[in-house]
Amino acid sequence: MALGRRRLLIGFAGAGGLALTGCGWVRDSAPPSTSATIGFDPPPGTHDVQARSHATITVTDGTLRSVDWTDETGRSLPGASSPDHRSWTSAEPLGYGHTYTAKAVANGETGDVTATTTCTTVRPRQLVDVSLRSANLVELAENDTYGIGFVLVAHFDEPVDRAAVEPHLEVTTDPPVTGAWYWLDDQNAHWRPEHYHAPGTRITIAAELFGLALGEGRYGLRDQRVSVIIGPAHVAIADDDTKQIEVFDNGNLVRTMPTSMGRGGTAVIGGRAMSFWTRPGIYTVLDQKDPVIMDSASYGLPTNSGLGYRTSINHAVRISHDGIYVHELAATMWAQGNTNVSHGCLNISPNDAAWFYDFVIPGDVVEVRNTGGDPLDIWQNGDWGIPWSDWLHGGAHT
């Protein structure tokens, strides 16, 4: 009786680690040991890896003990392991034109395992930068303030693939407004919404071009991000029917200024046809100078010709790239409000010019109505004169 009970207890105790067979008691076989496996991304031997890529190392069935990822100069690529030490990621992108060698050591059930890799990154034929500007061609600075006619300009220092670039020129507004890019050529793109910006709007442009293929072996030099703010709604309307400039501040008429605009007509000087109209259209303020040297030779009219000039002008507000200003000219006050006598600029009195000079900021709207001549062209600063449906057809994908 006692013996039988003893045998029963032994058999029960063995159920945890022993098995009963026809030949007696035997121990279960242990599971096989596994080795750690190391994986690299980019994979070993990869060429022309994109510069924006990050390096990663992953471990299966083990944990990382060390990582050494260096470029051709011996510089180590900074990075960090995950909390569980099963992966490592570089803290910066791989960059252009590098040859990398990496060594990783991982520990698994069978001990340490070592793996190595090499890869090369793309080597551009040329790096291309973009200048983010307003219509006055001055680079944007963080928190600059512009008028409601602000137009964003992206100028590339070399031709680019428009379709490749445009998705990486991201414009956001607060409050949200729909806008679109309009390409003048392969180096210049302009962005605006359908209507003038609302005062207080913040506009942010993120140009994420580093590592981006721009066509013909060219790649983006860097990423950029900048935001600007829209100021009060300043709109000046110059009407040739009345020869007055009405100035509005947030919809309220604050000043009326008599003016004398372009005398009209054309003349052939030095074999070149010159127009003396103030072209109709929607201009914006580009910049201000006090004084400015105005030289007719700057737009092809020789200074020594009968209609040429070179003179210093006070309180000059430039509104076109080909030299149209709203400016002081006491000598034409007799004509201001009744007769057009200028070469194309808008002449106003010294008092009005000083006030207007202090009132406006870049991006403020100056609309010229009912004059002769061809409508203002976009290259002259006529972005807002292009109908919205036509503007939408100027994108890279249309």
pLDDT at 194: 98
pLDDT tens digit sequence for 12-43: 334 334 333 344 444 555 567 889 999 999 99
pLDDT at 177: 97
Q: Is the pLDDT of residue 10 over 80?
A: no
pLDDT at 307: 66
CB atoms within 10 A of CB 360: 21
pLDDT category of residue 273 using cuts at 50, 70 and 90: confident
pLDDT at 69: 97
Sign of CA dihedral 296, 302, 306, 312: positive
User: What residue spans of the chain are helical by DSSP H?
Assistant: 2-13, 162-165, 350-359, 388-392
pLDDT category of residue 8 using cuts at 50, 70 and 90: very low
Strand order in the sheet with 79-81: 37-41, 56-60, 87-90, 79-81
pLDDT tens digit sequence for 208-264: 999 999 999 999 999 999 999 999 999 999 999 999 999 999 999 999 999 999 999
pLDDT at 293: 86
Containing 115, the helix (H) or strand (E) segment is strand 111-121
Comparing CA positions, the residue from 191, 99, 198 lying closest to residue 378 is: 191
Q: How far apart are CA 368 and CA 326, in angstroms?
A: 11
Q: Is the pLDDT of residue 300 over 70?
A: no
pLDDT at 12: 33
CB atoms within 10 A of CB 44: 12
pLDDT category of residue 128 using cuts at 50, 70 and 90: very high
pLDDT at 46: 97
Longest Cα separation, the chain: 139
Comparing CA positions, the residue from 201, 183, 186 lying closest to residue 156 is: 186
pLDDT category of residue 310 using cuts at 50, 70 and 90: confident
The residue behind tokens 């520990």 is 107
Comparing CA positions, the residue from 254, 257, 133 lying closest to residue 190 is: 133
Q: How far apart are CA 248 and CA 258, in angstroms?
A: 15
Comparing CA positions, the residue from 382, 380, 359 lying closest to residue 231 is: 359
The residue behind tokens 């071009």 is 209
Q: Which residues are designated catalytic? A: 327, 345
CB 391 within 8 A of CB 193: no
Partnered with residue 268 across adjacent β-strands are 273
Q: Is 309 helix (H, G, I), strand (E, B) or coil?
A: coil
CB 244 within 8 A of CB 156: no
pLDDT at 311: 79
Q: Is the pLDDT of residue 274 over 90?
A: no
Cis ω for the linkage preceding 175 (within 30 of 0): yes
What average pLDDT does the structure give for the chain?
Answer: 90
pLDDT at 30: 59
pLDDT tens digit sequence for 318-335: 999 988 999 999 999 999
pLDDT at 308: 64
CB atoms within 10 A of CB 126: 12
Q: Is the pLDDT of residue 85 over 50?
A: yes
pLDDT at 294: 79
Q: How far apart are CA 235 and CA 224, in angstroms?
A: 31
The residue behind tokens 């006598």 is 341
pLDDT tens digit sequence for 139-174: 999 999 999 999 999 999 999 999 999 999 999 999
pLDDT tens digit sequence for 169-205: 999 999 999 999 999 999 999 999 999 999 999 999 9
pLDDT at 376: 96
Q: What percentage of the chain carries pLDDT values higher than 70?
A: 88
